[in-house]
Structure 1
Amino acid sequence: MKRLVLGSQSPRRKELLELAGYEFEVRPSNADEVIEEGMPPEEAVLHLARVKAENVKVDENEVLLASDTVVVYNGEILGKPKDDQEARKYLRLLSDTTHEVYTGVCLKTNQTVDTFDVKTEVTFFRLSENEIDAYIRTGDAWDKAGGYGIQGKGSLFVEKIHGDYYSVVGLPLSRVARELKRLGIFPE
């Protein structure tokens, strides 16, 4: 029987796999998450997912799942904000606009490496400076691409999405489930 390994410390990815009923081991990657300047977002997330996967060893009966998510505004990748000022800048950019969220997934066995990406469009309401400041004070902007989490208080900013909600959270769960099934891994 094959075993699933999550190559990530992300609490959101862990929660999503648990929600779907998967049993898995967490074996985080210590890869440097660096992308080349000008790399298209769909390539960037696939690259980052592959780099993470390459840094985690798998045994014969294991399937490793590695993933990365980026927020893109006007062609620019918005990473995890370094400080309050950058978080504020990101939220001002996203206010009253539609942006894209790309999640790349890498599934690795000791014989194969498969990747795919999912794009979702997210539209924000117009945000006031008070809303932005209050959100930043919650601490929810940290460790999240684009400075917001759709699964938390950041959900109050979202007018609509077109695509996979769970991909915006950090893992396109239904697509992952289909790919894992193909590799012989099923939820409990």
Structure 2
Amino acid sequence: MTTVTFVLASRSPRRVQLLREQGYVFDCLPVDLPEVPGPGEAPLAYARRLALDKARAAQARSGRPALGADTDVSIDGRILGKPRDAEDACAMLLALADRSHQVISAVALVDGSREAVIATTTEVEFVSLDRAQALAYWASGEPADKAGAYAIQGLGGRYVRALRGSYSGVVGLPLAETAELLAQFGIHPGPAASV
């Protein structure tokens, strides 16, 4: 039997899958925190703060090392959260169309008084798309719970022309950086799970 080494402060199936594929053994302990940027809070600062707040909350509840993460889409310094409805998703997708935006993924690890945060910024360039395409994509159901109203690992991948940075960071967890962070705390994966 393999020993659980940390808790993941997330209910994201994508983060769970990414970590399990790498061989990490952990429990999920989602925390519900308000995900609202503070006045004038920059996208990078916002992502780092949320990841750390999630990790702190999960560590306080579990007494075990806790990993928190936050992934945000931003364009022109504006944070695009999860869409409220079809119109909101359409507006986001059209704002991203035929230009570049940033996806920031922050990961925090908390173990007692020891805390560390890392973050990646990935430049993503979209193809052109129109309102009908955006609404059809919304109808698929995929964008409903995704920051920026798209999932690069799903149907939304068809809109990505180019990417400079961490693909897994856009999915929700930058793997190389997360592995380095966990290793700093003495947490290492077992054999990678079969997929």
TM-score normalised to structure 2 length: 0.91
Runs in 1 of length 4+ with deviation above 3 angstroms?
none
Answer yes or no: is the 8 Å Cα contact 1:50–1:106 preserved in 2: yes
Rounded to whole Å, the distance in 2 between the matches of 1:79 and 1:33 is 9
What is the aligned counterpart of 2:99 among 92, 97, 106? 97
Answer yes or no: is the 8 Å Cα contact 2:73–2:80 preserved in 1: yes
Partner residue, 2:41? 39
Partner residue, 2:188? 186
Match of 2:65, SS? strand
How far apart are 1:113 and its partner, in Å?
Answer: 1.0
Rounded to whole Å, the distance in 1 between the matches of 2:180 and 2:117 is 13
Partner residue, 1:167? 169
Rounded to whole Å, the distance in 2 between the matches of 1:15 and 1:161 is 22
In the TM superposition, what whole-angstrom CA distance separates every residue of 1:94-117 from its partner, at most 9, and x where no partner exists?
A: 000000001111100013111121
Partner residue, 1:135? 137
For structure 2, list consecutive stretches of 5 or more residues without a partner in the other structure.
191-195
| Percent of aligned pairs with the same amino acid | 38
Rounded to whole Å, the distance in 1 between the matches of 2:91 and 2:36 is 21
Partner residue, 1:24? 26
TM-score normalised to structure 1 length: 0.94
Answer yes or no: is the 8 Å Cα contact 1:2–1:185 preserved in 2: no
Rounded to whole Å, the distance in 2 between the matches of 1:130 and 1:81 is 17
How far apart are 1:2 and its partner, in Å?
Answer: 7.1
What is the aligned counterpart of 1:82 among 72, 81, 84? 84
Match of 1:141, SS? helix
What is the aligned counterpart of 1:177 among 176, 179, 195? 179
Answer yes or no: is the 8 Å Cα contact 2:9–2:55 preserved in 1: yes
For structure 1, list consecutive stretches of 5 or more residues without a partner in the other structure.
none
Rounded to whole Å, the distance in 2 between the matches of 1:55 and 1:177 is 21
What is the aligned counterpart of 1:6 among 1, 8, 24? 8
Match of 2:24, SS? coil
Answer yes or no: is the 8 Å Cα contact 1:41–1:77 preserved in 2: yes
Answer yes or no: is the 8 Å Cα contact 1:2–1:184 preserved in 2: no
Count residues in correspondence. 186
Partner residue, 1:112? 114
Answer yes or no: is the 8 Å Cα contact 2:97–2:129 preserved in 1: yes
